[in-house]
Chains A and B, each alone.
Chain A
């Protein structure tokens, strides 16, 4: 028996033994799972959820309007990019909701500042040193809230005072059991490495049979996240990073490929979580949107408002939430970008609060202190 299956078994024994009541209780208190999929690089909201009913849409978007116009109609105004077939199915089942013309408080156009605001939940970049997803761990109603980054390192949104694990499949051969035990000894006196090592070995035990997946594509990553979230003693909150959304050139093919991957990831999460899908909320969001007009190279440049998405069994879906600002030249932000009319902070806090049955004002204050005076958006989730 190798060490990893030993730990897995030891864990199972513990679960059935003295820890069983507590685990069972915690499980009953919060069966809820939450996944944040970040789209790094400024995903084009208008290309994903097209405002095909806006008379200015086709003219402003040129070539890029065609794809989305051929996708599933969401309502009189909006259509979903045809690459998102799972997304469209979930929408008809009332398990997908889209928000449009939505943005974080950040009003400039730097990816890296924009991502910092999106992840820390501040009003401006570098205002906070920890991430809102980490702060969420402090207010979810369970004693053993655990979070995990489905990546080798921990992204900003998950950094903070609560311990977080990270996991990505490795194709390196697993280190031998004896070496792992000796590394534990080696790091005993080193606070930083000791803490990291404890996390690593605990996570390893939980995911011992996952390495074969090898995470070669987005669907595999979705399945991996599902397996990390599914066990009773697994993670409750997960974050998945996706890149490649910065479509300055040749957007049409690239965005379709990106969305196909994202759609497969969401499909894999739903399949992998099985009955737990009913208790799962998936949020997809990006740092900002892209210009309304197509640039000179078949792409779009950095803009402002974009679209955000919610998926899951509890979502009051089948609708697009939007205070649509319109696409005429006069209604654009600085004459070029979709104008933000809905606050992403309020959207996230409202969804998360209802999902975990937390007071929305409390969620707003904890996750987005800078926007605490803004009311969280309610009614996004069945309560």
Chain B
């Protein structure tokens, strides 16, 4: 591959039919930092987390009202759970699905007549969430198809996967995409610390990793409940949930086995109590703010100083966890972790140690300034080796295919369905670690077959005026292999030639 092809495919999102190859590939990449638009026209109509959370809060309120006016039986004490739990229960059956198989509705549960109204409300809430999810997937795709800064757009996708939330629970389905729009895009060219802070206080993250319902045992609410439990026995239990605190250490910043201990996780979880979402979770009772807004709720915050990795963080409400985040954002282990993932993304599944070291140094010297790190990637010879270094993920392949065909706008549900079938549903990795970034996870026999099926469908819908032979040489000037060229020339129809081009070895990798 020539350097301009590498810039467009490995760094960018794939050439568009009719694009001229950049004459100075490195400059073309770095200049995108000035061109990138965090709020492009393509995203102007994106649902916001406020809008999505308001729908959810309405549903939860409706349900509470039904319980209070006796339409519904009160919750059994045994079902004691945070407001989000009954909805997570619904996700349970769907979660049983093996990975890679399309998601379906939760199993229908036995319903008594009084449950009907609730079921209806729940169905409505779920439909709203799915609409929001699909709209956001469609807009994300459109942005990737129309952007002038495909390198930066790729980095947005990279960070959204790094800070993965998964659209499995009802509370997260509609919100998942808003995290990328609101916490990743505005900070993709800022510091890592700013992005980290924005992500961890975003409602999608607070709800996905259960932070929104975590309660400090010695907080005013924790104490009150403990007291009542002592008096009346068997009341709702409230307390700490260490899920987000652990994943911040393990996945978002330092990486697993880098020196923090179980005690550090627990202490950090205590510092994080109080971080919740207005109108939802523990924030529903806390009052103030539009639904979906970040809310620090002092009445569930664990009081006192915290000791984390040998450093004392004095009591300070919201600022306490913020101070911890600011420290670990620039921790050397964080630099190593992020440098490794970025090098893997641009230089191959086995990240070259010299490049990792270069990115790590750039990160630490600049205090986590992301454009500085991105420049170090562009300056790394390891990212410019001639042969393809990455097998495209289903998302990357789909976007590259749309771009090759000159598509500028998609049907949201078509993209949702396509990525489900290709095994990488958008914002739905199922686990907080996000999707893998190695060929072993994507280069499966069935996965390739699915791409062939999808390519045929692409081709039948594409304009008949596209000549795959011409398009092939436009997309890969002087780089189309003889065997691909021959296959295209021998195809029995223009549509078949196009399908073959889309699954050619040149399109499968970057």
Contacts and interface: CB of A to CB of B under 8 A. Distances in A.
A183 B452 contact: yes
Contacts of B454: 172
A249 B96 contact: no
A253 interface: yes
Interface stretch (A109-117, A138-146, A371-379): A109-117
B431 interface: yes
Contacts of A14: none
Contacts of A240: 98
B260 to A, nearest CB: 11
B240 interface: yes
Contacts of A109: 246, 262
Nearest to B87: A250
A250 B83 CA distance: 9
A244 B96 contact: yes
A257 B93 contact: yes
B96 A261 contact: yes
Contact of A253 (B86, B443, B448, B499): B86
18 contacts: A63-B80, A66-B78, A108-B257, A152-B444, A159-B440, A166-B444, A173-B453, A175-B499, A196-B445, A200-B446, A216-B102, A217-B107, A245-B95, A249-B82, A253-B86, A254-B85, A254-B88, A296-B239
Interface in B460-489: 481, 483-484, 487
Contact of B452 (A125, A180, A188): A180
B430 interface: yes
Contact of A170 (B88, B209, B213, B450): B450
A41 B94 CA distance: 14
A133 B217 CA distance: 44
Contacts of B238: 296-297
Contact of A168 (B91, B101, B504): B101
Contacts of B200: none
B92 A253 contact: yes
B256 A254 contact: no
Contacts of A175: 449, 452-453, 455-456, 499
B80 A153 contact: no
A128 B98 CA distance: 24
A197 interface: yes
Contact of A165 (B239, B423, B445): B445
A133 B240 CA distance: 38
Question: Which 8 residue pairs spanning A and B have beta carbons closest together?
Answer: A244-B95, A296-B239, A250-B85, A253-B89, A261-B96, A257-B92, A152-B100, A199-B445
A315 B129 CA distance: 45
A296 B214 contact: yes
A196 B125 CA distance: 42
Nearest to B433: A112
Interface in B418-458: 421-423, 430-431, 433, 440-450, 452-457
Contact of B96 (A110, A190, A193, A218): A218
Interface in A44-64: 62-63
Contact of B421 (A151, A171, A245, A298): A171
A215 interface: yes
B84 interface: yes
A204 interface: yes
Given A152-B446, A171-B102, A295-B240, 10 more contacts: A41-B431, A154-B444, A166-B445, A179-B452, A203-B445, A244-B96, A244-B168, A253-B88, A253-B89, A261-B93
Given A170-B421, A180-B452, A196-B444, A298 B240 contact: no
B250 interface: yes
A197 B504 CA distance: 12
Interface in A221-260: 221, 240-246, 248-250, 252-258, 260
Contacts of A20: none
Contacts of A246: 431
A295 B431 CA distance: 20
Contacts of A110: 250, 256-257
Most chain A beta carbons < 10 A, residue from B88, B217, B243: B88
B95 A172 contact: no
Interface in A179-220: 179-180, 182-183, 185-190, 192-193, 196-201, 203-204, 215-218
A322 to B, nearest CB: 25
Interface in A359-381: none
A40 B430 CA distance: 10
B101 A169 contact: yes
Given A215-B97, A297-B81, A244 B237 contact: no
Given A151-B101, A167-B446, A297 B452 contact: no
Contact of A186 (B101, B209, B256, B483): B483
Contacts of A180: 452
Nearest to B209: A248
Contacts of A200: 445-446, 448-449
A248 B243 contact: yes
Nearest to A194: B505
B471 to A, nearest CB: 16
Given A173-B453, A252-B79, A186 B484 contact: yes
Contact of B446 (A41, A168, A260): A168
Contacts of A327: none
Contacts of B242: 295, 301
B508 interface: yes
Interface in A296-331: 296-299, 301-302
B228 interface: no
A257 B85 CA distance: 13
